[in-house]
Amino acid sequence: MTAFAYRIDATDEDARAGVLHTAHGDVPTPAFMPVGTTGTVKAMTADAVRATGASIVLGNTYHLMLRPGAERVARLGGLHRFMDWPGPILTDSGGFQVMSLAKLRKLDADGVTFQSHLDGSTHRLTPEHSVEIQRLLDATITMVLDECTPFPASPEEARTSMQLSMRWAQRSREAFQTREGYGLFGIVQGSVYPELREESARALIRIGFDGYAVGGLAIGEGQATTFAVLDATVPNLPLDKPRYLMGVGTPDDLIGAVQRGIDMFDCVIPTRGGRTARAYTSRGVFNLRNARFADDPAPLDASCRCPACVRHSRAYLHHLFKAEEMLGPMLLTWHNVQYYQELMRGLRAAITERQLEAFAAATRAGWLRDDDE
């Protein structure tokens, strides 16, 4: 068996390149995790996800506990087998989506009660229950249940919320069954307040986790604030553990966060964009529904090796979206996920060569060369 361990191979200023070893395989970092909401990265086969170079995917506990149900997934051999992803899987705690998707949710000191957005049935999530659901799913990395403090929040609201999350983090740690190669991550909260972020980080370190996530960001505060919170938070996290910025972000966000010492990311931007004709490329962001692509024989991104770019023209992709053909989302999601993985490969190589600043500047300059938005 493989111990759950993080090895840093290179650093460039605050940025790190390394490998996270897990029971289900290695994750080279910095790593972007495609979001596999209900047991599928939307519009992609598992083979396609693998072909992009992704080494880890994320599953949503809220969705999976409601449908098909964690016990069912366990009976069927776990999420890896269910979705044909033998590699590492990180699951969120369910808390974030309870607050954003569920109906009639009610938070108390012990947990949260909510009604399913699917059928109105009543469910309850506590720190212990969330950990148990993630165990049934066989998550390689389990996230503690927390409260994602809304933005904006007053210092008092942010402190109360953060302290609740820290108590839940302690309970999650106690409920988590240690297994070789599996890990549990704590989540730093504290809104935009540096002293609360520091207090939260210290509380988590006292409990002790296999990795540390930064939560409560990318919820409307803006990139400058996100980066300021990272600047106040990351220096308080252990050097030798992976750091995961939850729910972030655009390619530009990823570069800035890697420069600030973040190792892992997840976000729906590449997959949601793939379904809505929004293309992320080395030349910037395009909306493929734009009429200017109707007769464009060029590949979407000449530097990309995905099937959408190697096999087809922008004109064809434009046509697929105009005709509302499923192949449009299929090809563009593949491309976007591939672009994100290429970006992570580039970041890892640049850190190893201690050329991160030059790589970041060149990448950002590329985006300006052909941008319609």
239 counts as binding a copy of itself under rule CB under 8 A = no
User: Which residue from 262, 327, 317 is spatially nearest to 295, judged by alpha carbons?
Assistant: 317
12 among known catalytic residues:
no
Catalytic pick from 12, 146, 266, 301?
266
306 counts as binding a copy of itself under rule CB under 8 A = no
Nearer to a copy of itself, 104 or 291 (CB): 291
Q: Give the integer Cα–Cα distance in Å for 327 and 341.
A: 21
Question: Which residue in 152, 155, 180, 294 binds a copy of itself (CB under 8 A)?
Answer: 294
Contact 279, 286 (CB under 8 A): yes
92 among known catalytic residues:
yes
Q: How many residues bind a copy of itself (CB under 8 A)?
A: 38
Residues 337-366 that bind a copy of itself (CB under 8 A): none
Q: Which stretch binds a copy of itself (CB under 8 A): 3-11, 61-69, 223-231, 261-269?
A: 61-69
Q: Is 317 exposed, middle or buried (0-12, 13-18, 19+ CB in 10 A)?
A: buried
119 counts as binding a copy of itself under rule CB under 8 A = no
Nearer to a copy of itself, 57 or 83 (CB): 83
130 contact partners, CB below 8 Å, separation of at least 6: 61, 93, 94, 95, 144, 145, 172
Beta strand residue intervals within 126-181, DSSP E: 141-143
Q: Give the integer Cα–Cα distance in Å for 349 and 356.
A: 8
Please, what is the minimum distance in Å from the beta carbon of residue 350 to a copy of itself? 32
Contact 127, 172 (CB under 8 A): yes
Report helix, strand or coil for 240.
coil
Report helix, strand or coil for 158.
helix
Residues 73-102 that bind a copy of itself (CB under 8 A): 75-77, 82-84
Q: Which stretches of the chain bind a copy of itself, using CB under 8 A?
A: 38-40, 42-47, 63, 67-68, 72, 75-77, 82-84, 294-295, 297, 307, 311-313, 315-316, 319-320, 322-323, 325-327, 329-331
| Residues with catalytic roles | 92, 266
